Structure 1
Amino acid sequence: MAEFIRAESVAPDADAIPGLSVQWVLNKHTVGTQKLTSGRTTMAPGVRSRLHYHSNAEAVMFILKGRVKIIIGEQREEHVVEPGCFCFYRMGEIHGQENVGDETAEWIFCYAGAPDVKEADTVFVE
């Protein structure tokens, strides 16, 4: 049976860095997913996430608001994306985000292959 959850009803992750809000909306704990985790992230201007990868999940972002610099791979290749852009990260691919705009950035993310953040096995490289 379908389930409906408003993102606002899910508390942000208390472990996120200042200026970064991550809401783990759909996962095995909230709706019983088996191979999917999804949620919403907001990032204040000037904030940058730590570079990381997911050893057990592919990841997708869909940018809703703002200008976000995406940092990818060992070479730290950079791409600036804006609303309407999908970003796909392969399993094990290093990535991070930085809000390079003057407004709060917002995106929806999805981890395919892992039913929660713990099982995605996020590894920080900095």
Structure 2
Amino acid sequence: MAKVIHLKDIMANTTYEPPCWIFFGINNETVEGAKAVMGLTRSSPDVKNQRHYHNNCNTGQYRIKGPVRLLIGPGYDTAEQDFIPGDFNFIPRGELHSAVGCGESTELVFCYAGVGSLKEAGTVFVEPPKSKGPETERTQTS
């Protein structure tokens, strides 16, 4: 059966990928048997999230607000790409990636395909967080 999950009812996760605020809307905790993880990521204008990859899933992203520079690939062979509002981004399973803010607050929708939880995604962080994110809080709908 279809299920609507309201953003206003989701607590921001600030520990998974600091300094980002991540609102996990669809996963096997919110939708029984879900084989997808989908959410909204918000970040500050100067965001620099830690480089990471997902062992068990491809990732799709759609940029809603604020441009970033994507850093894709290992340190010795990192490609940089602009990712601006209105763009889609596909990250294959196992590809190292991160993003650097370009002076505006950012928002994107993401989906981990074929897995129902963060644990199943098999995310591996290869560097420490850049800074501690804010305390967990409810989203503001402004």
Which residue is equivalent to 1:96? 98
User: Is residue 72 of structure 1 aligned with residue 72 of structure 2?
Assistant: yes
**What is the deviation of 1:34?**
3.4
**What is the deviation of 1:94?**
0.5
Q: Cα RMSD between the aligned structures? A: 1.1
Gapped runs of 5+ residues in structure 2? 128-142
Instruction: Tell me how many residue pairs correspond in the alignment.
Output: 124
Contact 1:7 1:39 in 2 (8 A): no
**What is the deviation of 1:8?**
2.4
**What is the deviation of 1:27?**
0.2
User: What SS is found at the alignment partner of 1:88?
Assistant: strand
User: What SS is found at the alignment partner of 1:78?
Assistant: strand
Which residue is equivalent to 2:139? none
Contact 1:54 1:123 in 2 (8 A): yes
Contact 1:26 1:33 in 2 (8 A): no
**What is the deviation of 1:114?**
1.0
The letter of the residue matching 1:67 is P
Which residue is equivalent to 2:106? 105
Q: After TM superposition, what 4+ stretches of structure 1 lie above 2 angstroms from structure 2?
A: none
Aligned counterparts, 1:28-47, within 5 A? 28-47=28-47
- Looking at structure 2, the residues matched to 106 and 14 of structure 1 have their Cα atoms a distance apart, in angstroms, of 14
Contact 2:71 2:80 in 1 (8 A): yes
The letter of the residue matching 2:23 is Q
Deviations 1:74-115 (A, max 9, x none): 212111111110000001011111211x32100000000210
- Looking at structure 2, the residues matched to 118 and 25 of structure 1 have their Cα atoms a distance apart, in angstroms, of 16
TM-score where L is the length of structure 1: 0.93
Contact 2:46 2:104 in 1 (8 A): no
Would the alpha carbon gap of residues 95 and 33 (structure 1) be closer, same or farther in structure 2, given more than 3 Å must change? farther
The letter of the residue matching 2:109 is I
TM-score where L is the length of structure 2: 0.83
Which residue is equivalent to 1:58? 58
Would the alpha carbon gap of residues 122 and 3 (structure 1) be closer, same or farther in structure 2, given more than 3 Å must change? same
